[in-house]
Structure formats: C-alpha cells, structure tokens
Amino acid sequence: MNRREFLAAPLLAAPAFSAPAKERRYHVCLSSAALERNPELIDVVERAGVHTIWLTGFLYGHWYYQPAHIAAAARRIRKAGLQAEIAFVPLGHPGDSLGDKAGEPPLIPPPHWRQCVHADGSRHWGTSLHAPATAENAAAIARLNGMGFRTLFLDDDFRLATGPGQIGGCFCDDHWRRFSESHGYGAGAREQLIGDIQSRSLSPELRAWVEFHCSELTACFRQLQRARKGLTIGNMVMYLGAEKAGIRLNDYRGVPFRVGELMFSDREFDRLKGKTDELFSSLFHRRFTPPELAYSETTAFPADKLSASNMAAKFAVSTLADVRNTMMMSGLTPFPASHWQVLAPAMRSHAAIHAQVAGHAPAGPFKHYWGEHSRYVGDDKPYSLFLASGIPFEVCNALPSNGWAFLSDADAAAQPRSSGAELVTRRDTPETMEEIFALKHRLLPRLGATPFIEEEQPAVCAWYPTARRALVWNLSNEPRALTLRHENRRIPLRAAALELVAVPL
C-alpha cells in the first residue's frame, strides 16, 4: 500500500464487542496510583452508577504508571463489576494540563522526542508529531497485551495546535521541507503562509498547510489502530477542535469520539456564556459522531475547582446533545470523593430524562451553524447566547434555508450568501442577552406551533418534535418559575438552579 492508498483506506471500524451505548452511561478517568491511594474509590463510583473506569496509560514517551500496576488496577476494577479501559496522553500538552498534586509526573516528553517549531522560531513541547512519537505509542499499545482493554482513548493532546482558536502546524525544517516539496512551493511561500496565518485568511496555501497536518495526524491514528487487533481507538477532540488543529473531523466518524468541552472550573462555568459555549461545542461535534459513540469531556480542572453541583449541571450538556457517554475526568488528581453524593442522584435523573429523547434531533427556528472558516481559520469564539433564549434550535451541517442562523466572526467575514435564513452576526447584533431577548420579542408572533419559554430568563428550550418532548434547562444559578408556551397551552414549570426538566407535549 503506498502512502496515498494508505490515507484513502477507511478507518478500521469499531469491533462489535465494544458494545456502543444504547442508553446513558457514566465513566470516570482515574490513575492506578489514585486507586492504590484510595482503594475505596472503586466502590464509591460503582455505587454511584459508573459503568467504566478509564485508567491512565502511556504519557507522551513515559510509562510513569508502570504497566504491572495498571494491569493490577484493571483486575480490581473488573472484580468490582465495572469495565476497565485505558486512556493515553500520546503527544503531551503544552504546560501542565494533568495537575498531579505531588508534582512528580514529568510534564514534557523525554529528551529524544522533538519540539514543535512556531513560525517565529519559538518552540513548545507537545501537540506536535515527530518521530518517534507514533512508534513509541504503537509500542505502548502492544504492551497492553493481555490486560483485557478493548478501548483506548487518545487524550486531546492528540492535535497539532497548542489550544482552541490556534491555527497549528510545525515549521521545523523537516516539516517545512516535506510540505513545500509536496506542493511545489518556492522560497516566498513561507512568508506568504505566515501572513495568511496571522490574518486568518483561508488562502489555498493555508488550506494546503492545514490539510497537510490533518493527513499526518490521521495517518498516525491509523497506524495506532493497527498496533493491536481487537483494540478500538477513540479520539478526544478538544473544545471546538477541528481542521486548524490537525483534526480532520470526517476522518473520525465511526470511532469513539469525545466531544470537546472547556469550562473546567466554577470561574468558567458559572458564566452564562460559559454554559452556552460548552453546549455549542458539544452540539457541533455531534455532527461527526453517532450518539452511541459519543463521549463527553466532563472535566474539573484543577480537580477541586469545579463544584459538585456544577459538575452535575454539566450532565445537561450530554443529555441535550444526545451524547450517550458522560466521561468525567480531572487530570491525574481525582476530584473530591464527596462529589459523588451530589453526582449519583443527578446521574440517575439525567439517564431517565435522556431515555425520553435519545435518538431524536432537536428542531427549531434558531440555527446552530459552524462553518468551514470557523473550522480552518476561526478564533473558536462561537455566537452561542441564542441557546439561552428559550427558543428551540436545530443543528445545521450547512447554511440553513430558513430561520435565524448565528454566525461566528470568521464565518461572517467569509460573507456567505444567505439561502433564505436570516444571518445574525456580532457586527449587526451584539452578543448580549438584551439583544437576544429583543430578537425573541420581535419574532414571537411568527413562531406558530413552536414551543418556547415565555419569560425573559436565560433557559435552553430544546424541542424534540418526534419524541413529543421539550427539555428546558434553567441556566440561572437560582430556582426559576418558567412558562412553556405551546400553541394555546401555557405550561408552568418549576426548575431548581441549573436543573433540566422534561416536558411532555
């Protein structure tokens, strides 16, 4: 198989025995060391209703947790009746994204790995792909032999940009030579490309640069898939992660897929916009993965900086987006064990609500749209507050032909031709709840049979017409009395702070 055929070959499908989730399942990531220090934790999470514990595996060139300890932890987990699976941090994050309290795990790959080189010559460790990263990860996968793991997640360092909103890629001599030679670019191309990256203009050269890195990351993924038969590999895609970070989303259809989230602390999630951005990212990524293979990125970081009630509130993001697997994590330090007293009843409640809408798509006049320019050159700041309007929405793969589509600055700058929808941009309509409620007020007479929340209070109203249900998520940090209007009915609702309520219609 030559390189072109290799890249064109379909991804290996998930083996049937990995049993995609038909109903809501809960997962938690823990290290073998954390389970050794807190042996009771397995029973605590089992009683709370956790289905699978994901153990920390290979960390960017290091077996910081020894394979024998990982295997022993997996045996203890399975003895308690839970599934044990494994997560790698394959390339390394820029900075400390793992937050081990002891401060002992190395934060960067070993010295024989190589750094990413930025356009200005500065360097960083992690989120770049050079030999021997693929070979060492493949060898690490081979060492899992006999440990009984059926699924492995690559952490969201499996990308080629330092973080959300960055246009990634490596300008080291080797990468530049391979890129410019394969495209026949001459001496001036480098300056041109750097200028396009700085101005975020989607030129043919910038598109080629992004695709070049996407192909490299996908080729690595496929090589890791082939490293061990019977092991399904999943990708954890960072917040709004997409092509500009080397993640060609279409290449990861059909494998376990962790939708990207970001609001890891109370400081971030307490903001209304933090909640709508989080939901926006999850809804975007669900375009590329079926619900059964979708996993959340329900994260507390640092581990003690997200309250139990906010973590439980995040379950609503999975429920609304039909992400069947909620996967909790908090770096290498477990979040406080007392959280589980709050999480356990919320897990049961969300599973019951989720069952009422699983497999159904939300519909409505407000349109969730995230276009090519957002994916290739955007700053990952979505226009998301419309999700808090109390008016139903739907997720669009392309510009819709009706309704109101809310555009990011990158998609708006691309000057799309409207195909019938009204395009709402920040230039014309600042992204504030005052503006959103003013728009809501104007269009209420045109809503017809669409249900909506009457009050001007921040709430998500997701409408699943085929399930004859609406889900209302109170986004206030206080209890609220809300009214769901549907045709001639006015349905009074009481929702606790951040509570999700299912309403039969």
Cβ nearer to Zn ion, comparing 32 with 128 = 128
Q: What own/partner pairs with CB < 8 Å and gap ≥ 24 does 437-446 have?
A: 437/389, 439/389, 439/404, 440/389, 440/390, 440/391, 443/365, 443/391, 443/404
Nearest CA-CA partner of 425 in 461, 475, 362, 373: 373
Nearest CA-CA partner of 22 in 355, 449, 404, 288: 355
- Structure-block tokens of residue 299: 């994260």
Q: Does residue 172 bind Zn ion (CB under 5 A)?
A: yes
Nearest CA-CA partner of 471 in 286, 317, 288: 317
Cβ nearer to Zn ion, comparing 100 with 216 = 216
- Residue pair 232/255 in contact by the 8 Å Cβ criterion: yes
Report, in Å, the least distance between residue 98 CB and Zn ion. 23
- Structure-block tokens of residue 423: 């395009």
Q: Which stretch binds Zn ion (CB under 5 A): 169-177, 210-218, 381-389, 453-461?
A: 169-177
Which residues are CB-neighbours of 329 under 8 A, at least 6 positions away?
Answer: 28, 29, 54, 297, 298, 299, 300
- Structure-block tokens of residue 395: 């997720």
Q: Which stretch binds Zn ion (CB under 5 A): 166-174, 248-256, 259-267, 316-324?
A: 166-174
Cβ nearer to Zn ion, comparing 115 with 476 = 115
Whole-number CA gyration radius for the chain: 23
Cβ nearer to Zn ion, comparing 169 with 362 = 169
Distances (CA, A) of 207 to 199, 201, 213, 218, 246: 14, 9, 10, 16, 11
Residue 418 DSSP one-character state: P
Q: Which stretch binds Zn ion (CB under 5 A): 13-21, 32-40, 162-170, 391-399?
A: 162-170
Helical segments of 163-293, H only = 173-183, 189-199, 204-225, 266-269, 272-285
Report, in Å, the least distance between residue 174 CB and Zn ion. 6
How many amino acids of this chain bind Zn ion (CB under 5 A)?
3
Report, in Å, the least distance between residue 172 CB and Zn ion. 3
Instruction: Give the whole-angstrom CA distance, residue 10 versus residue 3.
Output: 13
Report, in Å, the least distance between residue 433 CB and Zn ion. 44
Q: Binders of Zn ion among 250-309, rule CB under 5 A?
A: none
Report, in Å, the least distance between residue 421 CB and Zn ion. 41
- Residue pair 454/433 in contact by the 8 Å Cβ criterion: no
3-state secondary structure of 44: helix
Q: Does residue 91 bind Zn ion (CB under 5 A)?
A: no
Q: Which stretch binds Zn ion (CB under 5 A): 11-19, 164-172, 296-304, 439-447?
A: 164-172
Instruction: Give the whole-angstrom CA distance, residue 284 versus residue 369.
Output: 8
Cβ nearer to Zn ion, comparing 246 with 291 = 246
Q: Does residue 170 bind Zn ion (CB under 5 A)?
A: yes
Cβ nearer to Zn ion, comparing 215 with 356 = 215
Cβ nearer to Zn ion, comparing 172 with 491 = 172
Q: Which stretch binds Zn ion (CB under 5 A): 96-104, 175-183, 202-210, 290-298?
A: 175-183
Report, in Å, the least distance between residue 208 CB and Zn ion. 16
Question: How many degrees, rounded to 5, is the angle at CA 19 between CA 66 and CA 220?
Answer: 55
Cβ nearer to Zn ion, comparing 87 with 160 = 160
Q: Binders of Zn ion among 217-256, rule CB under 5 A?
A: none
Q: Which stretch binds Zn ion (CB under 5 A): 173-181, 218-226, 236-244, 486-494?
A: 173-181
Report, in Å, the least distance between residue 263 CB and Zn ion. 32
Length of the chain: 505
Report, in Å, the least distance between residue 186 CB and Zn ion. 20
Cβ nearer to Zn ion, comparing 72 with 172 = 172
Cβ nearer to Zn ion, comparing 217 with 259 = 217
Instruction: Give the whole-angstrom CA distance, residue 80 versus residue 468.
Output: 39
Give the one residue of 175, 273, 286, 368 binding Zn ion; rule: CB under 5 A.
175
Report, in Å, the least distance between residue 96 CB and Zn ion. 23
3-state secondary structure of 313: helix
Q: Which stretch binds Zn ion (CB under 5 A): 5-13, 170-178, 437-445, 452-460?
A: 170-178
Instruction: Give the whole-angstrom CA distance, residue 284 versus residue 445.
Output: 29
Q: Which stretch binds Zn ion (CB under 5 A): 7-15, 165-173, 449-457, 481-489?
A: 165-173
- Structure-block tokens of residue 430: 């600042």
Cβ nearer to Zn ion, comparing 89 with 170 = 170
Report, in Å, the least distance between residue 221 CB and Zn ion. 18
Cβ nearer to Zn ion, comparing 170 with 263 = 170
Report, in Å, the least distance between residue 130 CB and Zn ion. 5
Q: Which stretch binds Zn ion (CB under 5 A): 11-19, 68-76, 163-171, 205-213?
A: 163-171
Q: What's the burial of 199, exposed, middle or buried (CB within 10 Å: 0-12/13-18/19+)?
A: exposed
Report, in Å, the least distance between residue 236 CB and Zn ion. 22
Residues of this chain that interact with Zn ion (CB under 5 A) are 170, 172, 175
